[in-house]
């Protein structure tokens, strides 16, 4: 028996279930990334990087924000982001996962309850695991289930603040949350509403401000805007009331003890806000591609999401992996998604629509996918 045996056994068990993950290179036409507006490799960012470096903006922060890492470029981004999204303030993190984990492990207090959509991101679950508050799920996008969970909490505990945690656009199903209904429930119950806008920022709302734009600035609303998806960069912006920003600065361990994000990255994100505000042409082109994919998939019986995230649920893990492999061999980078990322029995292909694929390539991919779906499972 060696110290590594337990890990070898765990990996073997994953392989037996067709759930062993591995890093793989980019292959073929992009139907897998979150670079929805095709900005990740654009010349606009190279120009912005050269301009920032020319101004002497450093690559490294040199320390945490509470030490010497609080660079003016980061503070400038936070002010610009608050103005752009319409919030009272903003706080910049190095990644969306970190931001969700930081918020939910810090802001909800002992005696509070976090009521979360059953399909919220793993980063939310990690934050709730570390939180002093109690957490429970409600059925996906179901306002009635949320209200039932609230009644149960009131009957059991009575006191404590409610936190309602949802995504605006779900990353594995491509469906949109009824945010206005959730906001009314939060307002009525005196609850905080946390909206993860990761897959909507840049794509929806005026100037790409997201699906929750009409709610920004309310004292009970917190939004997360990640910068690594439609913005094509990395990092994340928490938009929140100023009091909660100050509380996070003083109490949030993932913020206090982490090296600050790169000031150069902050400069690029600030440039990205201006770029996406003027990107109506890109958004229109993306929606045209979404409609084109939907038409093709609906003809072969696939239920369409209507957004740039299109799941093709096939059920069995093995079939999803096999389909993805055959699509990649045909030149289309489509990836399989398996449990625990999705529910057991819900393995799927996640087809991501981006401006990195032309309309003709979407048509060709759809035709090939239709052929592969007709093949009997191995």
180 near 131, Cβ under 8 Å?
Answer: no
300: containing domain:
26-41+280-374
Distance between CA 337 and CA 172 in Å, rounded? 8
Distance between CA 191 and CA 315 in Å, rounded? 37
132 and 273 fall within a common domain: yes
Distance between CA 221 and CA 208 in Å, rounded? 18
CATH number at residue 299: 3.90.1150.10
What is the four-CA torsion angle of 45, 51, 52, 56, rounded to 10 degrees? 150
Domain contains 316: yes
Interacting residues of 344 by C-beta distance below 8 A, sequence separation 6+: none
Phi, psi of 361, deg, nearest 5: -70, -35
Query: Residue 159: what pLDDT?
Result: 78
28 near 357, Cβ under 8 Å?
Answer: no
Query: Residue 378: what pLDDT?
Result: 62
313 and 194 fall within a common domain: no
Query: 133-164: per-residue pLDDT in tens?
Result: 999 999 999 999 999 999 999 888 767 899 99
Under DSSP, is residue 191 helix (H, G, I), strand (E, B) or coil? Answer: coil
Query: Residue 184: what pLDDT?
Result: 98
pTM of the model: 0.95
- How many domains does the chain fold into? 2
151 and 291 fall within a common domain: no
73 and 153 fall within a common domain: yes
Q: Beta partners for 20?
A: none
Query: Residue 160: what pLDDT?
Result: 86
Distance between CA 359 and CA 365 in Å, rounded? 10
Question: Which residue ranges of the chain lie beneath pLDDT 50?
Answer: none
Domain contains 119: yes
Query: Residue 158: what pLDDT?
Result: 66
Domain termination residue (choose one: 277, 299, 328): 277
List, in sequence order, the alpha helices (H) in the chain: 5-16, 43-54, 72-85, 96-106, 122-130, 143-156, 179-189, 242-251, 253-256, 263-277, 280-298, 317-329, 359-374
Query: Residue 375: what pLDDT?
Result: 83
Domain contains 84: yes
Which candidate, 270, 302, 298, 303, places its Cα nearest to that of 373? 302
98 and 237 fall within a common domain: yes
303 and 209 fall within a common domain: no
248 and 299 fall within a common domain: no
Q: Which helix (H) or strand (E) holds 36?
A: none
Under DSSP, is residue 26 helix (H, G, I), strand (E, B) or coil? Answer: coil
273 and 297 fall within a common domain: no
Distance between CA 341 and CA 171 in Å, rounded? 10
Distance between CA 308 and CA 71 in Å, rounded? 36
Domain termination residue (choose one: 277, 302, 320): 277
Domain contains 2: no
206 and 231 fall within a common domain: yes
């Amino acid at each position: 028996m060696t110290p590594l045996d337990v890990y070898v056994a765990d990996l073997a068990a994953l392989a037996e279930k067709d759930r062993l993950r591995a890093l793989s290179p980019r292959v073929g036409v992009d139907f897998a990334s979150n670079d929805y507006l095709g900005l990740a490799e654009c010349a606009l960012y190279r120009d912005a990087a050269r301009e920032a470096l020319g101004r002497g903006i450093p690559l490294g922060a040199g320390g945490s924000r509470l030490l010497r890492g609080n660079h003016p470029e980061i503070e400038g981004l936070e002010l610009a982001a608050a103005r752009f999204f319409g919030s009272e303030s903003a706080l910049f993190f190095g990644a969306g996962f970190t931001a969700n984990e930081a918020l939910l492990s810090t802001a909800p207090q002992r005696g509070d309850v976090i009521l979360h959509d059953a399909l919220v991101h793993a980063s939310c679950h990690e934050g709730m695991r570390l939180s002093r508050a109690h957490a429970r799920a409600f059925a996906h996008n179901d306002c009635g289930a949320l209200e039932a969970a609230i009644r149960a909490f009131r009957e059991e505990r009575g006191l404590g603040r409610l936190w309602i945690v949802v995504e605006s656009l779900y990353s594995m199903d491509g469906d949109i949350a009824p945010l206005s209904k959730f906001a009314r429930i939060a307002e009525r119950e005196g609850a905080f509403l946390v909206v993860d806008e990761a897959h909507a920022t840049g794509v929806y709302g005026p100037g790409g401000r997201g699906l929750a734009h009409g709610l920004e600035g309310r004292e009970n609303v917190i939004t997360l805007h990640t910068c690594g998806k439609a913005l094509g960069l990395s990092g994340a912006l928490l938009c929140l009331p100023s009091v909660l920003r100050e509380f996070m600065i003083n109490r949030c361990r993932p913020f206090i003890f982490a090296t600050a994000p790169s000031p150069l990255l902050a400069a690029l994100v600030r440039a990205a806000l201006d770029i996406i505000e003027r990107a109506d042409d890109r958004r229109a082109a993306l929606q045209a591609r979404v409609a084109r994919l939907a038409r093709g998939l609906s003809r072969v019986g696939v239920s369409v999401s209507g957004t740039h995230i299109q799941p093709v649920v096939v059920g069995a893990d093995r079939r999803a992996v096999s389909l993805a492999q055959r699509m990649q061999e045909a030149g289309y980078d489509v990836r399989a998604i398996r449990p625990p990322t999705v529910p057991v029995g819900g393995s799927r292909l996640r087809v991501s629509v981006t401006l990195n694929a032309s309309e003709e390539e979407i048509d060709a991919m759809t035709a090939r996918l239709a052929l592969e779906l007709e093949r009997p499972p191995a």
